[in-house]
Structure 1
């Protein structure tokens, strides 16, 4: 439980529900930043197995702290490729695509197309770090982990007491502590995708030193990172600090030069922007996506409970990039923001979230790249986010790609990211999603 006053008050409200349901609890009140992380890291697996789960009474950042403390010492998986791995593979195989700033996609050329697959199958990647891949691209880590993931019995729960509580909004449909407590005592279960984010370099001059963090809702750069950095100065304002910091950052209007690479999926192959160029893209953007095309995540979601064609081609412990035929697309230019939504991120400021049809457990990230544009157009985009039924992705300067993994390289001096509401400095990073890696005491939103 978060040691803040809101966390204590919230627990006092819901504690009688656990008592009446005869659910035994062990309450730990955090006393400092990082306390919850240390508790989860130091907990023995045998001790954790004696519990049905861990409940976070706090916000998204507090849950992120608990999640990272749990996964960093227990989740064994190969790293995603670094940006330099993608560049070297492009030079060998020639099967990547490059999206230049005017919106068109051109194919990289190479005279020899009979080289090895996109990524090397050796047990070391371009940085000299072991990546645990076998010759068929799958993971060679043993299946009998001391604490198996995903776990059928062990679950996480969140009782909202934070500033935004986007994860609770997406998994229960409401920001209500009592609803969350009832989901826990009733033993509800929903699987949740988790993104593994690997920072390769902190600054341009840094040595390559991989540092891993996990995110359950969102990873954002540019505007998103600047807002969270600015808001840290005004924590005394409470949730209002985000509105104040967001206004200041918007008025500064900073754009950043960067390059993003992401895995092409079947939806990208059928993307008319790639096939017919910028003119068709303009027509499609003006018409906008039909609301009926949105398949919003709900209780007993058919998308989350089924395997997509892309996911069915992967073995259970393979990474998104380990299958043969994987192709990477690259986009380079000046961006106002780059974000990866793991879930829709519904909250009180964005009732439909960043991506209305993002799902809790479909094995994909929604990569959002906002290119540099006039101030008025960017404001229009932001107002669409704040409106129920808005169309924030229906702009020419917005790129939206559904992908299981991406890499990022900044060409600026500073690079600040927002991971589930927490600051993360990274000049180069990679991210990959693991489908249904953890389970929550929830059943999905009903509305």
Structure 2
């Protein structure tokens, strides 16, 4: 993997622990050496539609910044900072609900809840392609948080971009996703929190909940200030779903702006790694 995008979170997560710069040269040398490591893969499902994610999923503030700032792509990674400031000044909050299966040690987050898991209808082509982990999700201990939300952010690796240590405790193949949730947060506190993304201390804010989850369900809703408008669901820098009157809502997306569920397959993928 060679850094060639605006964020380069995956390659940053690989190179940073060994003190190598996030550059094409460092990445190429790592590939030549041939060392590998395992990586968890998240399966995002909605009915029969699936998307396999290795980096992140976002809804709310982070997704809005990531996708809507594309109009400033010519700025490079600075587009995230410039548009992020604009989005904080004109802050949006969203109705919705999230459900999750917490990792051991994180059972105190949220409230106990029952979760109805969508089961994919059987089909003759089911065995032809990978379908995601064979987990009995309905039998797990689910918990929930209800909105309004400022941001919901799931991460598979520590870095979301070269200057964004989104999930400082994330591991490549621990079988869990790191969940960062922001709900009620004053704008000045949010601005301060966002400036701490570079060193990961934003997760220590009293306005952020940071935990690990084994499975996750997102039920996105409309904006608080303008109920006729909805948001964007973003995974690995690509739009999964566009709600009503959201940015470029006329463009077709892979999924609808509705309930989706996520499960994790531990160590499914393999990456070239410097160590």
Q: Call closer, same or farther: CA 1:186–1:349 in 2, change over 3 Å.
A: closer
Shift of 1:232: 2.0
The structural deviation recorded for 1:398 is: 1.5
Cα displacement string for residues 333-358 of structure 1 (whole angstroms, at most 9, x for unaligned residues): 211100101111154322xx111111
Q: Which residue of 2 aligns with 1:357?
A: 169
Asked whether the 8 Å contact 1:344–1:359 carries over to 2, the reply is: yes
Q: TM-score, normalised by structure 1?
A: 0.48
The equivalences for 1:59-78 within 5 A come to none
Match status 1:441 vs 2:268 = no
What does residue range 370-385 of structure 1 map to in structure 2 within 5 Å?
370-385=182-197
**DSSP 3-state at the match of 1:220:** strand
2:271 and 2:110 map into 1 onto residues whose CA distance is 38
- Separation in 2, partners of 1:274, 1:428: 19
1:348 to 148, 151, 162: 162
Q: Is the 8 A contact 1:320 1:405 kept in 2?
A: no
Structure 1 moving runs of 4+ over 3 Å: none
Match of 1:261 among 76, 99, 123: 99
Picking from 117, 138, 148, the partner of 1:334 is 148
The alpha carbon displacement at 1:252 in A equals: 1.0
How far 1:379 sits from its partner (Å)? 1.3
**1:320 CA drift (Å):** 6.4
Pairwise CA RMSD:
2.2
- In the other structure, the counterpart of 1:98 is none
Give the structure-2-normalised TM-score.
0.77
Residue aligned with 1:327, SS: coil
Q: Indicate whether 1:394 and 2:204 are aligned.
A: yes
Matches within 5 A, 1:183-202: 183-198=30-45, 200=46
**Pairwise CA distance, 1:255:** 0.7
Residue number in structure 2 paired with 1:82: none
1:367 corresponds to 2:203: no
Which sections of structure 1, spanning at least 5 residues, go unmatched?
Answer: 1-157, 201-208, 276-316
Asked if the contact 2:67–2:237 (Cα under 8 Å) also holds between the matched residues in 1, the reply is: no
- Ranked by relative contact order (alpha carbons within 8 Å, sequence separation 6 or more), the top structure is 2
1:436 and 1:418 mapped to 2: Cα distance?
A: 23
| One of 414, 421, 434 as aligned partner of 2:237 | 421
Asked if 1:235 corresponds to 2:73, the answer is yes
Question: What is the count of residue pairs matched by the alignment?
Answer: 230
- Secondary structure of the corresponding residue to residue 267 of structure 1: coil
Distance 1:213 1:346, change over 3 A: closer
What's the CA shift string for 1:60-82, capped at 9, x where partnerless? Answer: xxxxxxxxxxxxxxxxxxxxxxx
Q: 1:346 to 1:439 in 2, by over 3 A?
A: same
Larger-Rg structure: 1
Q: Using a 3 Å threshold, how does the CA distance of structure 1 residues 239 and 329 change in structure 2: closer, same or farther?
A: same
Please give the alpha-carbon distance, in whole angstroms, between the structure 2 residues aligned to 1:257 and 1:392. Answer: 23
Match of 1:213 in 2: 51
Give the corresponding residue for 1:106: none
Secondary structure (helix, strand or coil) at the match of 1:178 reads helix
Deviation of 1:396 (Å): 2.6
| Distance in 1 of aligned mates of 2:102 and 2:76 | 40
Note the C-alpha offset of 1:274: 7.4
Q: Distance in 1 between matches of 2:217 and 2:50?
A: 14
Match of 2:12 among 152, 169, 178: 169
- Which consecutive unaligned segments of at least 5 residues does structure 2 have? 112-132, 223-228, 242-256
CA distance in 2, matches of 1:274, 1:159: 39
* Higher helix content, 1 or 2: 1
Q: Does 1:182 align with 2:29?
A: yes
Q: Distance in 2 between matches of 1:410 and 1:267?
A: 27
Deviation sequence 1:59-106 (CA, Å, 0-9, x none): xxxxxxxxxxxxxxxxxxxxxxxxxxxxxxxxxxxxxxxxxxxxxxxx
In structure 2, the CA distance between the partners of 1:179 and 1:236, relative to structure 1 (3 Å rule), is: closer
Distance 1:435 1:392, change over 3 A: same
Name the SS for the 1:248 alignment partner. helix
Q: What's the CA shift for 1:359?
A: 0.4
Question: For 1:160-209, what per-residue CA distance to the aligned partner results, in whole angstroms no more than 9, with x for missing partners?
Answer: 122121100111223121222122222110111111112x3xxxxxxxx5
